[in-house]
A and B are shown apart, each in its own frame.
Chain A
Amino acid sequence: MADASVESQSSAMSPSLWFEKGFGLAFPFIVALVVAAVILLVIGENPIDIFSLMAKESFGSERRIAATLSAATPLLFTAVATAICFRTGVFNVGVEGAFVVGGIAAAFIGFSLPAGMGFAIILCAFAFAALVGAIWLYIPGVLLAKLQVDEVVSTLMLNFVAFGVTGYLVNGPLLSEVSGNNVTPPVHEAAELTRLMPPSTLHAGFIVGILVVIAYAVWTRRTPTGFSAAMVGYSQRFSRAVGISVPASIILVMVLSGVVAGFGGASHALGQLHRFSDGFSPGYGFTGMAVALLGRNSAIGIVLGAILFGALASAGTTIQLFSNIPLDLVNIIQGTVMIFAVVEIGRLRLLTRRAAP
């Protein structure tokens, strides 16, 4: 039917398509808010009051906004690292591990290079973290590309290896002699990322994160390798048949994912904690996965998603102080959003398939 007669030939999106996309992004949040509202009603709270309190706690003042952006910072990195792989059809769940090893690599550089090097320490720390992250994910990338080893299993397991190795390092060779257990010595003051809005913890890593998102957007649309990776994501058979090297694309996206995750770890170590400690990441890699899914792997979607999840996190930490609401409510909202982000994608795919002749 499709070739009967076609009027418009423009490549711009129609308003209805924009609406559809916007709704796709908002839908999981609407459902999550409804679920949260029901829970609040059951435990005898007024959902409107709680939601407005949460909104105030995350965006109500300059300080609260800074806290939200600070919480969003690591998510920018982990979401981009995830999206790079997801859009290529590589289900990499090892961003968490790469983030952690990148963090310890950056912290190590941050305290072991001579303090006199100044700003160069930061550059070295980011470079080393990227290298370690890249190598970390290169391994499952090669295993997948050359030997068809399932990447979900290999990257998931590598996360535990990452926790184990870093746990050993912070309790052994890299253990701080002055502070208690499970932490490295603090990085030099010169290696700390600038605080953007003191006294909030928002630091220059946020700007680096935004730059990474922009670089990601450029890579996806305006580079041949980004195009190849997208084609591999659509169909590996098709890609092979038009001369795109599928193994090369897979290895490349895993390495890029490792670089970005490593940057994220460096940003968190140098900007937020100023050292590496056991329990360095409370699951930033996995929350980043939710952000990537929710944002449909798009740059704008990732920024919005990261800020929204950042808002939930920053509101959650203070909301307990002002109400009887347990922190778990925030976790429930996050979980519901993640479920419906995935559901929605499944539904859209199904619709597109049905539309095919």
Chain B
Amino acid sequence: MAEAATARADATVRLGARNISKSYGPVRANRDISLSVAPGEIHAIVGENGAGKSTLMRILQGMEHPDSGAIIVDDQEVRFSQPQQALETGIGMVHQEFMLAPDLTLLENLVLGDEPVSLAAGPLSRIDWAQALQSGEELAKKTGVTVDWRRRAGGTPVHIQQTVEIIRLLRRGTRILILDEPTAVLAPQQVEDLFVLLRNLRDAGTTILFISHKLKEVVALADRVTVIRRGEVSHSANVAETDSDTIARYIVGGNDTSLIETGRASRSGTGDGEVVLNVAGLEAPSLEKSHPLHDVSLSVRKGEIVGLAAVSGNGQDELVECLVGLRSASKGRVELLGGNVTHATNGERRRKGIAYISADRRHEGLATLAPVEDNVVAGSHDRPPIGKGMFLSLKQKRRVATERLASVDVRYGRLSDPVSSLSGGNQQRLVFAREIASDPKVMVVSQPTRGVDLNGIAAIHNLLLQFRDDGGSVLLVSEELEELLYLCDRIVVMAAGRIVGEAPVKGTDIAEIGRMMVIQGHADG
């Protein structure tokens, strides 16, 4: 390992945590976490949303103080009372949202807050731009990238912004680089470039800690991996001595791992049941930045999951709103269980047996500031057992809420806590708990696993499959093609507000559907 650039070449632990615990009220975000990152190592931290990764990173950066335990830098225990100290010690973090000032050039961003000056301090001092440029070029060369320093940061592609952010930290003396899901914003080729850059940095002696959700990347890049689950370290190993299956098992807690792999769920539906939901010749005006609906026809039968594949903004949101009664169609028919519901309200359609999982969980699926209890009973509050004539039974409301939450294993603090205190996965499970409880015949489900962690995804997939196996019907809108292929019995493809194709799942590959989504969409404008 090359150690030339670092102060203490002899340290065995460059950055570490010793028995760190941190609680927020009743929530124990970190429990007795120990971690050690060797000098010149790329160390991956993986775990579900809400597992406690971000808390740990905030502690390592001095943004939070642990309740107990210590941070180790170069084998020494350190204490950060503010983030500035961590930066001075050489710990720098690249956040998911970059911190560059969009109106400044990349060079200005590079030196912002630490400008080289030509004259000594005083009113006559000037920023030495030549020296700034030189230092930027040197670091760029060292990391193997080229940067046009005169560009405005706001107009620069994200991967260049990310590189500049890294160089900026290196210039400030960072020797321990923390990256929070660095590949989330990158295209595949850019991910490769980033990995090359990070390997170069490692070989030059920088220690790298990166947070990721993508096991493929962890295996490809990291030397060592630590898995955090429910606030504790569940696994830590050299990547060479483990594999993604093992890591996945530790992430979700030894649960059924088959769902993490892409595969076909077993299906019982034969596809010749009665038509439950039927749409004929539907037309509707478009939402903002989207496409109006043109002559959309499709049907969903009893006991099947029909996928709707479309690139975002191609009319799927309009269709969903027309189906559940939140938007009125200008032409065409919507039939639910043989009855015409084209002009029925959402409430009327729900009473006939439709349920709706909104893609916009924060604004439509949930009232985020309202209590957990109210969110999970809303819609059922005006009929028995909760609503009794003019009154509402608080006891029944609490009982129904508790039962529903338990039925899909939602983890929450108190029933009176606002729903915003739950993690994304738990929020979505709460939505499912509410929707399935009304015993619907058909569910219109849009982007059900967006922003949900692995364990949550598995749970939601199981819920949908169970619902189908019990004779329910689902129209599933998703941008995740793998999800559609895994769950659906057949897939309808939509582009530019029209249905452009339909494929049974068996014998169809992702590329074919992807082509229909993209090519047909462009052809139509």
Cross-chain contact B369 with A8 (CB below 8 angstroms):
no
Cross-chain contact A5 with B416 (CB below 8 angstroms):
no
> Smallest distance from the beta carbon of A244 to chain B beta carbons, Å?
7
Cross-chain contact B423 with A357 (CB below 8 angstroms):
yes
Q: Which residue of B lies closest to A354 (CB)?
A: B420
> Smallest distance from the beta carbon of B311 to chain A beta carbons, Å?
24
Number of interface residues of A (CB under 8 A): 37
**Chain A residues closer than 8 Å to B345, beta-carbon distance:** 243, 245
Cross-chain contact A224 with B387 (CB below 8 angstroms):
yes
**Chain B residues closer than 8 Å to A231, beta-carbon distance:** 367, 370, 374, 378
Give 9 new A-B contacts, CB below 8 A, not counting A3-B423, A227-B381, A238-B378: A4-B28, A11-B416, A230-B374, A238-B365, A241-B358, A244-B379, A355-B421, A356-B368, A357-B420
**Chain A residues closer than 8 Å to B31, beta-carbon distance:** 4-5
Q: Number of residue pairs across A and B with beta carbons under 8 Å?
A: 147
- Most A Cβ at <10 Å: residue of B346, B386, B412: B346
> Smallest distance from the beta carbon of B444 to chain A beta carbons, Å?
11
**Bound-complex Cα distance A85 to B390 (A):** 19
Q: Which residues of A pack against B, CB within 8 Å?
A: 1-11, 13, 221-228, 230-231, 234-235, 237-245, 352, 355-357
**Chain B residues closer than 8 Å to A228, beta-carbon distance:** 381-382
Q: Which residues of B pack against A, CB within 8 Å?
A: 24, 26-31, 50-52, 54-55, 230-231, 324, 326, 345-347, 350-351, 356, 358, 360, 363-370, 373-374, 378-379, 381-382, 386-387, 390-394, 398, 411-416, 418, 420-426, 434
> Smallest distance from the beta carbon of B362 to chain A beta carbons, Å?
8
**Chain B residues closer than 8 Å to A243, beta-carbon distance:** 345-347, 350-351, 379
> Smallest distance from the beta carbon of A97 to chain B beta carbons, Å?
29
**Bound-complex Cα distance A269 to B53 (A):** 65
Cross-chain contact A238 with B27 (CB below 8 angstroms):
no
**Chain B residues closer than 8 Å to A230, beta-carbon distance:** 370, 374
Q: Which residue of B lies closest to A241 (CB)?
A: B364
Cross-chain contact B416 with A4 (CB below 8 angstroms):
no
**Chain B residues closer than 8 Å to A3, beta-carbon distance:** 27, 50, 230, 411, 422-423, 425-426
Cross-chain contact B364 with A224 (CB below 8 angstroms):
no
**Bound-complex Cα distance A356 to B378 (A):** 21
Cross-chain contact A2 with B378 (CB below 8 angstroms):
no
**Bound-complex Cα distance A228 to B381 (A):** 8
**Bound-complex Cα distance A3 to B53 (A):** 12
**Chain A residues closer than 8 Å to B367, beta-carbon distance:** 231, 234-235, 238-239
> Smallest distance from the beta carbon of B436 to chain A beta carbons, Å?
13
**Bound-complex Cα distance A166 to B231 (A):** 67
Cross-chain contact B346 with A241 (CB below 8 angstroms):
yes
Residue in B55, B326, B360, B390 whose beta carbon sits within 8 Å of that of A1 in the complex? B55
Question: Would you give 11 A-B contacts (Cβ < 8 Å), ordered by A?
Answer: A2-B422, A3-B27, A3-B230, A3-B422, A6-B411, A221-B394, A227-B374, A242-B434, A243-B345, A356-B418, A356-B421
**Bound-complex Cα distance A149 to B228 (A):** 52
